[in-house]
Amino acid sequence: MVPELYLDANATSPVLTAAIAAAHAALEIDFGNPSSSHAAGLRARLILDDARARARRVLGAATGRVMFTSGATEGIQTAVLSALCAVRERRAAGEPCGDLLLYGATEHKAVPESLAHWNRILGTELTLQALPVDADGRHRLDLLRELAPRTAFLCTMAANNESGVVSDLDGIAAVLEQTGSPALWMVDCVQALGKLPLALDRTRIDYAPFSGHKLYAPKGVGMLYVRAGAPFTPLMCGGGQEGDQRSGTENMAGIAALGAVLRALEEGRTFRTHAQLLAVRERLAAALRAAFPAIEFNTPFEHALPTTLNFAVPGLSGKALLDLFDAAGIRVSAGSACSAAKAAPSYVLEAMALPDWRCANAVRLSVGPLLDDAFVDAACARIARCGEALHRKPLAASSSGDGRAGVYHCGLDGGWLVFDPKGGDCVAIDVPETQAGAAAALLQRHGYRLRAAFGAGAAALCAQVDADAGAWPADGETVRLADGTPATAIRLGRDLLVRRPGGGYLLGALEDGVLRQARLLFAHTPADTQDAGNAIVCLPMGIEAPSVERKPAELARYHLKHFFAEHPDALLIDVREACEHAAGAPTLQGRAAYSLPLSRLAEYAAWLRDEARPLLFFCRSGNRSLKAVQCLQGLGRERVWHLAGGLALLRN
């Protein structure tokens, strides 16, 4: 397995060794309840007080409230509840307080969701409004100037978790000041801790939530700063812990760990300086540019945290890039919310009005301030490997190099590209509109000419490649099928793609001018699959033959050793894309794997069906390998398994 390089620090970070030690001691030795008055309690109280004192120094908050929470989401709730209760009281007292709940358009979802929730629960009936950002991702101060006099509560973040854009907090404060705004102000400081200077006492900020797990403390601990004199309503009542501000017995392991991180921040020897992080970003950006020459960075570096790089590469979906990085052992995240099949475009990048393709295909690479040169060297080398792996063409000739047409399956939505690697011609069958962009990029990147496109998405694909290729080409030749019926055909290398009079398309080579036996049948509907003969059936929704109800043969990771002992001759097949295989060809139990991408499986399905050896498919997460198993089981193949959970669950 490729050792893991974690470059997703904005999602969460590993835990600092000193923080683990502090948590461990709080669990094992000083496990007392800080509210107890005996010695064990007093020792726990000391840990709590020490962590808070450090927090005050690190945040520059000698005055005001600093309380420990379960994380930023809780801090945000408390701030929103406090602000809205105050607005309700002010309004009841006839004081001017504004009618808007204004939040930055790129805020973390915790902010607008909490605003809407508490506005509804408390019946405050304020109007929620997003404050737009400019093309650089920074708040539109001109619009804030207009809205500030009406704003009851303003929520802006110090730095954005997706784009890394750093807000102009001084500019915002100046607008609030100049317009005499009645607004209370929350600044989500989650991504700022340890990366930007903080002197909360000297600002107009009323509420500032923090989260431990974004900076080397564990999940489930955070902090909330509340300016002295700012309204405050506790979210949780009970035993009166945290000075009656946040009841519930304290998460002492988490607080002790956060205390250790705060100590490291205060002492200043553990984390890299801003200048050093700028140099790290230069190196990572240079490596990315070299690996992906057409890369577009989505945020201007001069306004962004040096620890966050958000980018997109033309012709490569965010999912494809993520898979490629993952294969190379680099953990990054899609800049957009990804579900299994579809990537929703990033609302953060959309708010910056970036082109659609960049919003849909963004990838975020983020590091924490705790990294050394060896780590950066390794990350740059892996990025370079990803770039090289991309030279492995998905539309390459099959390994037998026998001049036959290749067949590529266009992802979960279905559709097929049938191509002649030598002649450079390609025919698209049932490529849906949703895949037209990706298919067009593939054809263009590898220099294929679209000769014809059939099915619902044909027009969209033709428009993308600027080809007038929709209809069956006039220069098609006439061939005979096995039963003597004439049919028209398009030549693709040694193979012919034949339009079957009964529906669907056959692919195969002629014998004496007759297509006696097709290799593949591309069907539009299950009805087209009648009389397929020996041909492998390719239905639009995937590589599926007539369905056979069979339990997927799952192999759990802890049974691998046993499996190989029982099936020493098993054929191990990596069904990820060829570039993923090249980026990090894995071995399982010391065994090398063949690369046979799921997207090319149809081409090899007959061979695999007839192969005597047991088959074990694997991929990144188990989704693609499951499809491969189902395909072969559908062809009646026995003794075929897939690795449940995929490579992701195998530890190095």
Give contact residues for ligand PLP (rule: CB under 6 A).
71-73, 108, 110, 157, 161, 188, 190-191, 211, 222
Task: Find the shortest distance in angstroms from Cβ 256 to ligand PLP.
Answer: 17
Q: Residue with structure tokens 């390089």?
A: 5
* Distance of closest approach, residue 231 Cβ to ligand PLP, in angstroms: 21
Q: How far is the CB of 163 from ligand PLP (least distance, A)?
A: 11
Quick one: 73 or 625, whose CB is closer to ligand PLP?
73
Return the closest-CA partner of residue 435 out of 467, 411, 459.
Answer: 411
> Which ranges in 13-71 belong to alpha helices (H)?
17-28, 39-59
Phi/psi-derived region of residue 399, left when phi > 0, alpha when psi is between -120 and 50, beta in every other case: alpha
Q: Residues near 95 by Cβ (< 8 Å), separated by ≥ 6? A: none
> Which residue, 2 or 11, has its beta carbon nearer to ligand PLP?
11
- For the bound state, the minimum distance from the C-beta of residue 174 to ligand PLP, rounded and expressed in Å, comes to 23
φ and ψ at 161, to 5 degrees?
A: -70, -25
Question: Maximum Cα–Cα distance for the chain, whole Å?
Answer: 97
Distance of alpha carbon 251 from alpha carbon 23, whole angstroms = 10
Quote the least distance from Cβ 104 to ligand PLP, whole Å: 10
Decide if 338 is catalytic: yes
Q: What 8-state DSSP symbol labels residue 8?
A: B
Give me 70's structure tokens: 């379960």
Which of 214, 272 has the CB closer to ligand PLP?
214
Q: Kindly compute the dihedral angle of the four CA atoms of residues 110, 114, 116, 117, in this order, to the nearest 10 degrees.
A: 130
Q: 400 and 604 in contact (C-beta within 8 Å)? A: no
For residue 290, what is the enclosing H or E element? helix 274-291
Whose CB is nearest to ligand PLP? Answer: 71
Pick the closest to residue 396 from 581, 260, 649, 149 (CA basis): 581
Among 237, 338, 359, 462, which one carries the catalytic annotation?
338
- Name the minimum Å distance from CB 254 to ligand PLP: 11
| Cβ atoms of residues 324 and 576 within 8 Å | no
Please count the residues of the chain: 652
Smallest gap from residue 351 Cβ to ligand PLP (A): 14
DSSP string across 403-472: SPPEEEE-STT--EEEEETTTTEEEEES--HHHHHHHHHHHHHTT-EEEEEESTTHHHHHHHHT----SP
C-beta of 160 vs 464, nearer to ligand PLP = 160
Both tokens of 75, joined, read 């801090």
Q: Is the CB of 182 or the CB of 209 nearer to ligand PLP?
A: 209
Least distance (Å) between residue 326 CB and ligand PLP? 20
Q: What is the 3-state secondary structure (H, E, C) of 503-561?
A: CCEEEECCECCEECCCCEEECCCHHHHCCCCCCEEEECCECCCCCCCCCCCEECHHHHH
What is the per-residue burial (b if ≥16 Cβ within 10 Å, else e) of 376-398? Answer: beebbebbebbbebbebebbbbb
Which among 80, 178, 190 has a CA at the least distance from the CA of 124? 80
502's CB contacts (< 8 A; 6+ apart) are: 528, 530, 531
Q: SS3 string of 137-196?
A: CCECHHHHHHHHHHEEEEEEECECCCCCEECCHHHHHHHHHHCCCCCEEEEECCCCCCCC
Q: What is the closest distance, in whole angstroms, from the C-beta atom of residue 439 to ligand PLP in the complex? A: 34
Residue 235 pairs in a beta bridge with none
Cβ proximity to ligand PLP, 54 vs 108, nearer residue: 108
Nearer to ligand PLP, 160 or 529 (CB): 160
Q: In what order do the strands lie in the sheet with 615-618?
A: 554-555, 640-643, 615-618, 571-574, 594-595
258-to-34, 253, 466, 522 alpha-carbon distances in Å? 16, 9, 57, 59
- Output 308 or 435, the one with its CB closest to ligand PLP: 308
Name which of 299 and 599 has its Cβ closer to ligand PLP: 299
The rounded radius of gyration (Å) of the Cα atoms in the chain is: 30
Q: Rounded to the nearest whole angstrom, what is the least distance from the CB of residue 114 to ligand PLP in the complex?
A: 10
Beta carbon of residue 298, minimum distance to ligand PLP (angstroms, whole number): 17
Q: What's the DSSP call for residue 2?
A: P
| CB of 188 or CB of 250, closer to ligand PLP | 188
Nearer to ligand PLP, 115 or 426 (CB): 115
Q: Which amino acid is at 392?
A: R
Output the CA–CA distances (angstroms, integers) from residue 386 to 281, 285, 361, 365, 580, in the order listed.
Answer: 18, 14, 17, 14, 8
Nearest distance, CB of residue 348 and ligand PLP, angstroms: 10
| CA dist list (Å): 458 to 314, 421, 452 | 22, 21, 8
**Catalytic residue list:** 338
